Chain A
Amino acid sequence: MISLTVNHRSYDVDASPDMPLLWVLRDLLGLTGTKFGCGVAQCGACTVHLNGEAVRSCVTRVSRAAGQEVLTVEGLSANNDHPLQLAWVEFDVPQCGYCQSGQLMAAAQLLRENPNPTDKDIDDAMSGNICRCGTYPRIRQAIHKAASLQQKGGGNG
């Protein structure tokens, strides 16, 4: 048994230590918001926070998360009101939507560490996340908007 906390809830999972966190979240805990896109840390669809750090859950062994705090897109906010989620809806960012959980989790770390990111900061933080629908321009706009919402104290993160 491996114990870990996901979205502020404790779980004991019966998994081999080398099982990627992604498949523990999806197949053992039923949290399917975190997506499988490449399996080799190339696309970012599986991005979650491990103790606040954005990691690629498809190459993160569950043993690394033992006793640690995991945050997935399902735990980003209680009511879809994280500043990024508000901005994502305002700019109609998602198209197919498959990569957006990972985009949001990558952006959430950026905004926490850098409340007022420049375009270059966004390039650096977000270039690990592929969007095949090409929503990058809207993601960029939405991150800027979320930054301003966050500074005004809007939304809950």
Chain B
Amino acid sequence: MDKRFKNKMRADKPEVSRRNFIRTGAVLGGGLLIAFRVSAAGRLAGAGMAGMPGLTGAMGSAGGVPPEAAPNAYLRIAPDNRVTVVLAHAEMGQGIWTTLPMLIADELDADWKDIKVEHSPVGKDWNHTVFGIQITGGSSTTWSEFDRYRMAGATARVALVQAAAKRWGVPVDGCKTAGGYVMAGDKKASYGELAQEAAALPQPQKVALRPASEWKYIGKGAKRLDGPAKINGEAKFGMDMQMPGLLTAVVAHAPTFGGKVKSFDATKATAVPGVKQVVQIPTGVAVIADHFWAASQGRKALDIVWDVPAVVTPDTPAQVAEYRKLAATKGLPAAQKGNAESALTKAAKVVEAEYVFPYLAHAPMEPMNCTVKLDHDHCEIWTGTQLPGIDQAAAAKVLGFSPDQVTVNTVFLGGGFGRRATPSSDFVVEAVQIAKASGKFIKMIWTREDDMKSGYFRPAFVHKVKVGLDGQGMPMAWQNIAVGQSIMEGTLFAGMIKNGIDESSVEGISDSAYLESIPDHYVGLHSTKSPVPVLWFRSVGNTHTAFVMETMVDELAHAAGQDPVAYRRTLLKGHTRHLAALNLVAEKAGWDQPLPAGRFRGVAVHESFGSYVAQVVEISMEKGQPKVHKVTCAIDCGVAVNPDGVRAQMESCIIFAQTMALYGEISIEKGMVKQSNFYDYRIARMYEAPVIEVYIVQSTEKMGGAGEPGVPPMAPALANAVFAATGKRVYKLPFMNNSFSNA
């Protein structure tokens, strides 16, 4: 997520006093409902949207689901004791299906077995407490909901105790709660029995959150609540939607970016058994059939003449050449202090390097899909999405509806990594266009090739770096010119570009702890244009900026003749959280101990999304490429609400980054994406998976995220290990395009 969001998160820490924030109410059909006051949520929404006019416009009326029609709450307690936790964010593997209920359980004293979980509908009440829109992203769910969900649990508990006290004629203070019951003396009533009486009582006025010493779940953990459904086929992803009358649609997209249908002949396609209809939509030609197989056979049988796009996408080598030319000029300032250029001329030594990063495909395991049911005045959507409110508004716009005529049902995401948070709502809009053009109830399915060929992608980047060293080998001047497409430009988030700078292009450099102490530095940015659609990708700009910073620092340490960990300690003096992670990883990896013959290691440390992660990667070289044996990881994310969840996310980030570093590459040839499926867009497999050890810094510092911060250090630590093994630096990603043999 963008820097501005991070700044926002610091500035707008949600208030702890939530007396007028949470309200109680009755569930239709009986029970207690803990909801939020719309006005309070709206106030936070306004704060989050400042400076994002496009977003305000799009989202202005997007939250209009009337409370009567929707379970407008965070928590429902039913007469049968079921405690339903309603998630304001989407489960995409990161584990919030379990972590948010833990926050409630710690305050509510519910029986963990009674807890059920569901995704919320679209509505302002579920807007992000800081970002102001309904979004799952920026590694922010746990810290941004830490107070809100605990307060929901605490409010429910107080309401239930009040109801019990009234029923029994005892003082509130004489009641205890445990395991889903309120107790006083020999009296005992379940939460379900008390729910309706609690709902009828006035709003609890005094609700206090428990101190950390009383936490039973936070900091300890719980088994994944979505685990059982994900081992027997029960869990429903967007792809799994099946309803009576539902047809399947596949779309023939233009082979080149920006291509349009000139003409098409559907005669052969409609002759395929099972094909029901062929319709043209703005993005191509859709074939609708009884099932996927018929639809895909129909698509193969289409005859389409495509218009040649006005803007031809340059081939990758031409783009890199253009980017390198730009990197020789200063660009717009993203961060500057003193005069880097003149300071460089006074340096005892100048280290220079140029880094080339390709486009990357997110490639979540579940290909894009969206199910749409359209009536004359209502549209219902089922999909796995990180931006349900924006999708709702986008669908409404296509249909000429108001957003409250569109219902979005968020189902499990078969991986997100940013791909299911498209400001353009590309896959939702396309499905709605098909439903609109055909009048059919459809599930649109993209194949793996559809996703890999048409984007979105992590933008390609070139960085040119010059660092001036003083006589002791310490940096005194630093210049970094970045060249690449902005992921914000032309989107709803364009308002976040300030003075021409999309912070997400340079985050991790412009705000680097290393640069703070360097008197003369300059970070410049060229935001380029291309028809290739680009998007945030797990850890966003840090995917390339951390590589630049952490391999360059390693290079400087080598130039200074210093140990890479010791050199970093000197540069990071005073940055206690960086140092805590770095020192812990060095200790646990045995940095000071010798390695067996043939083994080598590299280190990196990086802050992103409010968390500080250091990693040591141990490798050997096999056939000119690194084999990763072990990764030791340390993270300071503040309080780790679900420690095993944090460990799981670090493991996930490390293997995700291993794929990115070794193999990740989308290249353009003749205006088209060259790669198409997993045989030419390789993903790390079981035999390549390293042993991973994760250590969590015991910290009471400000909470950060866990879903992404484990990604950035992995690739540079791996590159630094390759240098230790071969004496060769990695300047061009992915590693597989380099030869490290004959070292």
Contacts and interface: CB of A to CB of B under 8 A. Distances in A.
B644 interface: yes
A72 interface: yes
Given A42-B679, A137-B689, A73 B365 contact: no
A149 interface: no
A18 B365 CA distance: 25
Interface of A: 16, 19-20, 23, 26-28, 30-40, 42-43, 45, 72-74, 76-77, 80, 84-85, 88-89, 92-101, 104, 122-124, 126-140
A133 B93 contact: yes
Given A32-B240, A85-B232, A92 B365 contact: no
Given A73-B232, A95-B94, A122-B686, A133 B227 contact: no
Contacts of B654: 134
B74 interface: no
B691 A137 contact: yes
Contacts of B63: none
Interface of B: 92-95, 223-224, 226-237, 239-240, 242, 248, 273, 290-293, 363-367, 412-417, 445, 447-449, 644, 648, 651-656, 658, 677-679, 683-687, 689-692
21 contacts: A20-B293, A28-B291, A31-B233, A35-B237, A35-B414, A39-B447, A76-B232, A85-B232, A92-B644, A94-B227, A96-B366, A96-B415, A97-B230, A100-B230, A122-B686, A126-B685, A127-B686, A134-B653, A135-B648, A136-B686, A137-B651
B444 to A, nearest CB: 13
Given A19-B293, A95-B93, A96-B413, A134 B230 contact: no
Nearest to B273: A16
Contacts of B234: 33
B365 A23 contact: no
A96 B227 contact: no
A23 B223 contact: no
Given A36-B367, A43-B365, 12 more contacts: A19-B293, A27-B242, A35-B366, A84-B231, A88-B227, A92-B227, A132-B363, A133-B365, A134-B654, A136-B655, A138-B651, A140-B686
A11 to B, nearest CB: 15
Nearest to A128: B685
B601 to A, nearest CB: 19
Given A123-B686, A132-B415, A35 B239 contact: yes
A33 B233 contact: yes
Contact of A95 (B236, B648, B678): B648
B226 A94 contact: yes
Contacts of A40: 448, 677-679
A73 B233 contact: yes
Contact of B686 (A76, A98, A126): A126
Given A36-B239, A97-B414, A92 B223 contact: yes
Given A95-B95, A134-B654, A23 B292 contact: yes
A18 B391 CA distance: 37
B648 A138 contact: yes
Which one of A37, A84, A88 has the greatest number of beta carbons of chain B within 10 Å?
A37
Given A38-B677, A89-B231, A135 B652 contact: yes
Contacts of B690: 137
Contacts of B677: 38-40, 42
A45 B92 CA distance: 17
B232 A80 contact: yes
The CB with the most chain B CB atoms within 10 A, among A28, A34, A37, A96, is that of A96
Contacts of B248: 27
Q: Is the interface of A mostly helix, strand, loop or mixed?
A: loop
Of A28, A42, A104, A128, most B-chain CB atoms within 10 Å: A42
A89 B228 contact: yes
Main secondary structure on B side of the interface with A: loop
Contacts of A131: 365
Given A43-B678, A95-B93, A100-B231, A37 B687 contact: no
A130 B685 contact: yes
B481 to A, nearest CB: 33
B415 A32 contact: no
Contact of A96 (B93, B445, B689, B692): B93
A104 B656 contact: no
B141 to A, nearest CB: 14
Contact of B367 (A37, A93, A122, A134): A37
Contacts of A28: 291
B656 A92 contact: no
B627 to A, nearest CB: 12
Nearest to A123: B687
A94 B235 CA distance: 11
Contact of A94 (B231, B445, B658): B231
Q: Which of B414, B447, B684, B690 lies at the interface centre, i.e. has the most chain A CB atoms within 10 A of its CB?
A: B414
Contacts of A126: 685-686
B365 A80 contact: no
Given A33-B234, A127-B687, A134-B651, A38 B678 contact: yes
Contacts of A139: 686
A104 B509 CA distance: 42
A32 B236 contact: yes
A32 B648 CA distance: 26
A30 B412 contact: no
Nearest to B234: A33
Contacts of A93: 227, 231
6 closest A-B pairs (Cβ-Cβ)?
A33-B233, A134-B655, A98-B414, A97-B230, A96-B93, A95-B93
Contacts of B656: 132-134
A136 B93 contact: no
Nearest to B415: A96
Given A16-B273, A39-B447, A132-B656, A34 B233 contact: yes
Given A38-B677, A96-B366, A80 B93 contact: no
Contacts of A101: 233
Contacts of B684: 134, 136
A28 B658 CA distance: 38
A139 B363 CA distance: 21
Contacts of A77: 232
Contacts of B226: 94, 97
A15 to B, nearest CB: 8
Contact of A39 (B224, B273, B416, B448): B448
A32 B233 contact: yes
Contacts of A16: 273
Nearest to B290: A27
A149 B161 CA distance: 44
B92 A92 contact: no
A42 B655 contact: no
A45 B237 CA distance: 13
B227 A89 contact: yes
B264 to A, nearest CB: 23
A98 B231 contact: no
B231 A88 contact: yes
Q: A31, A100, A136: which has the most chain B beta carbons within 10 Å? A: A136
Contact of A136 (B363, B678, B689): B689
A67 B685 CA distance: 34
Which of B93, B94, B229, B364 has its CB near the most chain A CB atoms (within 10 A)?
B93
Given A39-B448, A92-B644, A80 B233 contact: no
A125 to B, nearest CB: 8
Contact of B412 (A33, A42, A96, A130): A96
A104 B227 CA distance: 13
Given A74-B232, A98-B366, A133-B415, A27 B293 contact: yes
A36 B363 CA distance: 13
Contacts of A20: 293
Contacts of A98: 237, 364-366, 414-415
